[in-house]
Structure 1
Amino acid sequence: MIVDQTLVRINEGVQLHHGQGRRDAARGLFAQIWDEIGGEHGDPLHVCVLAHSMADVQDDPHQELIWDERALAAADRLTDDRAAQAGVPMSVAALYPSLHLNLGECHRKLGDLGRARECLQQAQSGIGALGDDDYGRLIKAGLERLTRQLAAE
């Protein structure tokens, strides 16, 4: 299998953020990669993964929402064949619950509870695509958390 160097670099940024707590450094690396891949017009896999990761390092929820929307738009252009070619161990359908969860969380932070609930519903409707693995459990736990938060608001 050919190693996708762009995904390797995106993962380095994820490690800067989650592994080392270096949010600003991750944001800088993601911005550099974004320019290199051609922004929103780049390979849909790269755009989706990078925008999804870039959203996580935003301080402003409005900016986070923009990046999450970019990730969702790129997922709509992504094929299972392209994901498999890069070694992604899941179908594109399995990405949607996470993408919609993140959008729902953004809308909740911004006070748009109606839109947050819509995103939560979209995420929940796709959970059948998730596996019974760490990723699937992580997303399902996030959906449960967002459900509780929205019920309390």
Structure 2
Amino acid sequence: MTTDQLSPDTTMNAITEAVMLGRAGDIETARTRLLELWSEIGTAGDALHRCSLAHYLADLYDDPARALAWDIRALDAADTLGDDRAQQYHASLQVAGFYPSLHLNLADNYRRLGSWGAAAEQLASARKHLSALPDDAYGAMIRTALDEVSTAIAQRSTDRRPSAPGPQS
């Protein structure tokens, strides 16, 4: 969802900068910056900011319960987000395209917590939204991750997926 270009949206730029720090391995600084931004945005702030921040902050927690809390916030924010707002940030964005990843993350967290029924429900929700994904590398990555989570659910595995984003424990 992020781009490498700076936008006039300073909050999205700050979120992107923190995400890049996390991807470069500076998990603590990235998490601190995102939590500070969350305090500024607030629980009723801009839905795109809340969705993006919570989605990426969840990836910075290896603990599936902590990640789950942020992934639920991301999904809640997406449910209040319209395409018009998303497209103010980037013209290609459609909120429907967010749902496969958001539900995938919830499924993976529930699976890691051993909540098999909830994981399967979220996996089904992710699959229901697959048609909104582009037929590109991002879409392929999400589809592959869904297959990995499905296999892990069937095997009753709570192990972290090697391809999952975020810190490795």
- Residue 114 of structure 2 aligns to a residue whose secondary structure is coil
Write the deviation string for residues 48-95 of structure 1: whole angstroms up to 9, x where unpaired.
000001111123221111100000000000000000011162210000
Match of 1:37 in 2: 41
* Residue 102 (structure 2) aligned to one of 99, 103, 115: 99
Counterpart AA for 2:123: L
Segments of 5+ residues of structure 2 without an aligned counterpart are 1-6, 157-169
- 45-54 or 133-142, larger mean C-alpha shift: 133-142
What pairs with 1:130-145 in structure 2 (closer than 5 Å)?
130-145=133-148
- Residue 114 of structure 1 aligns to a residue whose secondary structure is helix
Correspondence 1:13 to 2:18: yes
Aligned-residue CA RMSD in angstroms? 1.4
- 116-125 or 3-12, larger mean C-alpha shift: 3-12
How many angstroms apart in 1 are the aligned matches of 2:141 and 2:112?
20
How many angstroms apart in 2 are the aligned matches of 1:33 and 1:122?
29
* Residue 29 (structure 2) aligned to one of 25, 28, 31: 25
Q: State TM-score, norm by structure 2.
A: 0.85
How many angstroms apart in 2 are the aligned matches of 1:31 and 1:115?
27
Tell me how many residue pairs correspond in the alignment.
151
* Residue 53 (structure 1) aligned to one of 40, 51, 56: 56
| Post-superposition offset of 1:31 | 0.6
How many angstroms apart in 2 are the aligned matches of 1:152 and 1:49?
31
How many angstroms apart in 2 are the aligned matches of 1:37 and 1:135?
28
How many angstroms apart in 2 are the aligned matches of 1:135 and 1:89?
14
Which consecutive aligned stretches of 4+ in structure 1 deviate over 3 angstroms post-superposition?
none
- Residue 36 of structure 1 aligns to a residue whose secondary structure is helix
- Residue 51 of structure 1 aligns to a residue whose secondary structure is helix
How many angstroms apart in 2 are the aligned matches of 1:59 and 1:120?
20
| Post-superposition offset of 1:11 | 0.9
How many angstroms apart in 1 are the aligned matches of 2:91 and 2:124?
25
Counterpart AA for 1:68: D
Percent sequence identity over aligned pairs? 45
Match of 1:75 in 2: 78
Write the deviation string for residues 17-46 of structure 1: whole angstroms up to 9, x where unpaired.
11x1111111001011111112x2110000
- Report which structure shows greater RCO (CA 8 Å, sep ≥6): 2
